Amino acid sequence: MSTDTHIVAYVEESEFDVVLNGSEEKVVVVDFTATWCGPCRLISPLMDQLAEEYKGRAKVVKVDVDSNKPIFKKFGLRSIPAVLIFKDGILAETIVGVSPYEQFSEAVQKLLEVV
């Protein structure tokens, strides 16, 4: 996993299933993004905030769609930014486009409350 100045790590296709199923956190938030995507840059700080707020309870990662097209296509995504939220390795929520922080945090919180 490569990291940059953000607290959220980038995940490659080869690591994706391990991150989804091998994480000690039950909830995994995946931000599908690209360097050229303006709206993606708008939600990037929100993903950092989410990672900070739910540290130890939810894992937040990014997938660069340009270098990981098969993952992007696997979930039938057509546009970015797209944030997929998984619970126990199963897709539970999809948020496409720029959304307020509350939408992301409420989705994560809801999944954390379900046992």
Residues marked as catalytic: 37, 40
Q: Which residues pair with 9 in a beta bridge?
A: 61
Structure tokens at 2: 């490569």
Structure tokens at 22: 């091998």
The b/e string for 76-97 (b: 16+ C-beta within 10 A; e otherwise) is ebeebbbbbbbbeeeebbebee
How far, in Å, CA of 44 to CA of 48, rounded?
A: 6
The DSSP call for residue 71 is H
